[in-house]
Every structure is written in structure tokens, then in C-alpha cells.
Amino acid sequence: MATTLITGGTVVSSTGRAPADVLIDGERIVGVLEPGSRLLGTDVAASVDRVIDATGKYVIPGGIDAHTHMELPFGGTAAIDTFETGTRAAAWGGTTSIIDFAVQRYGERVQDGLAAWHEKAAGNCAIDYGFHQIVGGVDDDSLAAMRSLPDEGVSSFKLFMAYPGVFYSDDAQVLKAMQVSRDTGMLTMMHAENGPAIDVLAQQLVDQGKTDPYYHGIARAWEMEEEATHRAIMLAKLTGAPLYVVHVSAKQAVEQLAWARDKGQNVYGETCPQYLYLSLEEQLGAKSDEWGSFEGAKWVCSTPLRSREEGHQDAMWQALRTNDLQMVSTDHCPFCMKDQKELGVGDFRKIPNGIGSIEHRMDLMYQGVVTGEITLERWVELTSTTPARMFGLYGRKGVIQPGADADVVVYDPNGHTSIGMGKTHHMNMDHSAWEGFEIDGHVDTVLSRGKVIVDDNAYLGAKGDGRFLKRGLSQYLI
């Protein structure tokens, strides 16, 4: 087994930073050493197979993106990244583990949905991967099947209070699924938006000829998110289920989470880079020669972008600082403009919902360090350590310590890049939702279980490097 020493860098954890060398033996970290240490009288750097010079750089645990959708079927099409292309792009961006969502729909068996996701992913991933289970059809069979998920290493499931007729669960179904969550310890993940009310508002807008992408965000008003978040919290309280609300974008939804957390409830939430950086106003103004006012379709996602004037983005940053929100995932759900987003020309309801960001999450969140929104330590916590703890991976992932998998990123705070169109990313999209974003710093070197998979602008990984992660129950609950 090859030995590696990452030397000269500043190791950053969720609790501090210090100059240290990281010693790796095979797939594991075996030591975090004083810089220039000698072991058993020998210079460590001289006795390892490979030395990675991290002088002037940060050495951080590999990113964990706990919310991705490779090949998710949506609105008559499917998210365009496969496990191969999506995990490769993740690696380029310093993410070394993902947790994707296996899908079960009404009338299908949970076991079959999970098996289908194993089939899509096995042998195709560049980095390690786990699954949550979407339960889109809560009934007696699926409720019984859900009880076996923890044995399969799937310790969380997602329900939708949105999308009637597709993934939607009504309150009775949510209640029953949460009872399984309480009994098993599985985390209930919630898409908290009032779908039936949104569908009425969306129909009324289309009837008035308001069909542009911008109206997606008008139909999906923040009140719909606040209301559903509150309802989910109350159902979780009643049942005793631990609750994790995905893709939080409304400041009022955060207030609901904070209110429940202050009462000691096991309630958590994530936000995503799009809710920190992008806004409804910019979506309204988005125009291009090619797409006209349909350009805003590149930012159609659910929950939707929110108004900057109303202060949602600032509230998300604040919640990340105060731990009212605990982590940042991408909700990576990429669709091309051509043939996919354009399904919704003339009717925003038909635009597939999703943005691709898996490659940019670590960089985008690092900009929060640059601008002083978050500390370096909080950057690591939000993008790696808490995702590991929240989803039962901590110890193996999310930390640089002896015994942990050698998933390590060397991040160079120097340098500057501008995100451009398709050519400057490795995601399988014909555009970038992040076009024009200026990024300070960059990912230099990425190790996945000890193997260097990205180094100095070269991809050295291979499909099949990634293994399935059997996850335990959440290590974050109170």
C-alpha cells in the first residue's frame, strides 16, 4: 500500500486550524503530525512513497454533498448527469462523497427503487456514494419496506409536500412515514412546500398569460414554504421523528426551524449555494440573445430563488453562522437548456426543476470565507463535517484524523477564476447557472481514499473508484 505525506499546509477542521502534516497509508489517514516530524528517528517525508507539498494551502477533509440527483426522472425528462459524469465533476470541485436520492414512486416497491439506484451507480462513480430513499408513494407496503432501509445502509428518506400526483405525500402519509422514522431512528427529509396550493397559483398565473420562468418563483411563494415547514415541524413533534428540511430558501422557513430548535426539537435544515447567491430579481432580469426572457429557466429550481429585496439571501448566511441551518448541499439536479429546460417555453410549469452545482459548491462556499460571511472552520463544518455527522458517516468521513478515510483536499487560497459557460466545468450541461461568478482560490489536489484523483488541473481518477457507503443513523441528533 502506498504511503503519502501532505506536508507544509494548514490543516483546517470544524474546530480550528494548525500547521500540520498528514500521513496516509493506503486508504486511511494514519497520522496528523507536527510539521517536519520524524518518526522512529527517520524523516517521514524521506520514507513515504509520495510527498504532496501543500505549502501556503489549506488541507481540508473532502467535501460531502449530501443532496444530489443523478439521472432523476423529472417532468418527462431526467437529470442529465449520470453517476459517472456527476461524480467526476464533484471530484474536480473537491467533493469526495455524495449522497444521492434513490426513487420510489406510487405503485412501485421501495426495494426496487433502491435496487435501480444501486444499478445506476455501481462501477460508475469516481468517488464514494451513499443513498437516501425518496418515498413518493406512502402506503402499507412502502411503510413496511422502509423499516429495512437502515440495514441496507440507507438511514434517511425524503418525502414531498409538493408535486401532487408525482411525489406528493398528504399529511396522513407524512404522519405515517414519520412514525416509521421515530421507530427506526431514520431521518425524515422533507421537501417543505404546499404543493396543492402552489399548483392552483401556478394555473392562475398561466391563465393570465404569465408563463415566463420568473413566475415559477411567484407561484412558489415563501408563504408556501413557511407554512409547509411549520406543518412538517408539528407532525415531527407529534410523532417524535427527527426532521431535516432540504433546500431551505425562505427566511420565514428558517424562523420556523429556529423556533422548533429553540424548544429542543430534533429539527435541522440545509440551504444551497443558489439560495445564498442568486435571486428572483436577477431571474426576472435574465435575458439572452439565444433564449430571450426564457434565459431565467436556468435558475428554475424548487424551492425557488427568493427576492433579494426581502432579505432571504442575507438571512441564509446568518442562519449558517448561527447554526439555525446546519449545512450546505447543492441539490445538484442538472438539466440542459436545449431539449430539457426548453420543454417549458410558454409554460413555466413544464421547466424541469433543478440547477447543477456539484462542481462549484466548495468554491462557492469558500467565497463566503473570502467575504467574511463565515469562518474557514465553518466552511469545513458546513460542507464536510456536519454532512458526515448528520448522515451517519462521521469518523470515516468529514474529518482529518487517524483512522479516517484519506479523503483530503488541498485547497489553494490564491488564484482567481471566472466561471464561464459549458467549457469551464465538467458537469454534463450545455450552460452554467454560475456563469460570470468570480472565484478566489481553487482546488489543487483531491485524494479519495488515498488515491490522488485530481492534481494540478489533471483528472487522475477512474469510474469505479467510488464505493457504496453504508451509512449509520445520524450522529447529530440531540
Q: How far is the CB of 301 from ligand DUC (least distance, A)?
A: 7
331 binds Zn ion per the rule CB under 5 A: yes
Q: Which residues are at the interface with ligand DUC (CB under 6 A)?
A: 69, 191, 246-247, 302, 331, 333, 353-354
Residue whose beta carbon is closest to Zn ion: 191
Q: How far is the CB of 216 from ligand DUC (least distance, A)?
A: 11
Q: How far is the CB of 302 from ligand DUC (least distance, A)?
A: 4
Burial class of residue 78, CB neighbours in 10 A (0-12, 13-18, 19+): middle
Nearest 5°: CA angle at 273, between 292 and 202?
A: 50
Nearer to Zn ion, 14 or 330 (CB): 330
Of all residues in the shown chain, the one whose CB is closest to ligand DUC is: 302
Of the pair 7, 330, the CB lying nearest ligand DUC is at 330
Cell of 402: 487517524
Q: What are phi and psi of 150, to 5 degrees?
A: -60, -35
Q: Does 71 bind Zn ion (CB under 5 A)?
A: no
Q: Is 251 an interacting residue with respect to Zn ion (CB under 5 A)?
A: no
- Closest distance to Zn ion from the beta carbon of 229 (Å): 13
Q: How far is the CB of 187 from ligand DUC (least distance, A)?
A: 15
Enumerate residues 6+ apart whose C-beta is below 8 A from 64. Answer: 95, 96, 97, 98, 99, 383, 384, 387, 388, 391, 393, 397, 398
Q: Least distance from C-beta 271 to Zn ion, angstroms? A: 12
Q: Determine contact, residues 99/64, Cβ cutoff 8 Å.
A: yes
Q: Which does 88 bind (CB under 5 to 8 A by kind): ligand DUC, Zn ion, none?
A: none
Residue 163 CB, shortest distance to ligand DUC, in Å, is 7
Q: Which is nearer to ligand DUC, 23 or 351 (CB)?
A: 351
Antiparallel, parallel or unpaired: β 77-78 and 73-74:
antiparallel
Q: Of the two residues 58 and 163, which places its CB atom closer to ligand DUC in the complex?
A: 163
C-alpha cell at 287: 435575458
Are the beta carbons of 406 and 449 closer than 8 angstroms?
A: yes
341 binds Zn ion (CB under 5 A): no
Question: Of Zn ion, ligand DUC, none, which one sits near residue 354, judging by CB under 5 to 8 A according to partner kind?
Answer: ligand DUC
Q: Name which of 303 and 432 has its Cβ closer to ligand DUC.
A: 303
User: Which lies closer to ligand DUC via its Cβ, residue 195 or residue 441?
Assistant: 195
How far, in Å, CA of 299 to CA of 308, rounded?
15
- CB of 442 vs Zn ion, minimal distance in Å: 27
Indicate the residue among 296 and 354 with the shorter CB distance to Zn ion.
354
Q: What is the spatial distance between Cα 390 and Cα 388, in angstroms, rounded to a whole number?
A: 6
x/- letters, 175..214, toward Zn ion (CB under 5 A): ----------------x-----------------------
353 binds, among Zn ion, ligand DUC, none (CB under 5 to 8 A by kind): ligand DUC
Measured in degrees and rounded to the nearest 5, phi and psi for residue 188 equal -85, 120
Residues contacting Zn ion: total by CB under 5 A: 2
Report the alpha-carbon distance of residue 232 to residue 238 in Å, rounded.
10
Question: In Å, what is the CA distance from 160 to each residue of 80, 134, 156, 171, 250?
Answer: 22, 8, 14, 10, 17
Task: Closer to ligand DUC by CB, 96 or 330: give it.
Answer: 330
Instruction: Output DSSP code: residue 325.
Output: S
Decide if 316 contacts 373 (C-beta within 8 A).
Answer: no
- Per-residue mark of binding to Zn ion, 282-321 (x: CB under 5 A): ----------------------------------------
Nearest partner of 64 among 478, 477, 466, 473, judged by Cα: 466
Nearest CA-CA partner of 161 in 240, 220, 241: 220
Of 92 and 168, which CB lies nearer to Zn ion in the complex structure? 168
Instruction: Kindly report the backbone phi and psi dihedral angles of residue 133, in degrees, each rounded to the nearest multiple of 5, phi listed first.
Output: -115, 120
CB of residue 399 vs Zn ion: minimum separation in angstroms? Answer: 26
For Zn ion, the binding residues (CB under 5 A) are 191, 331
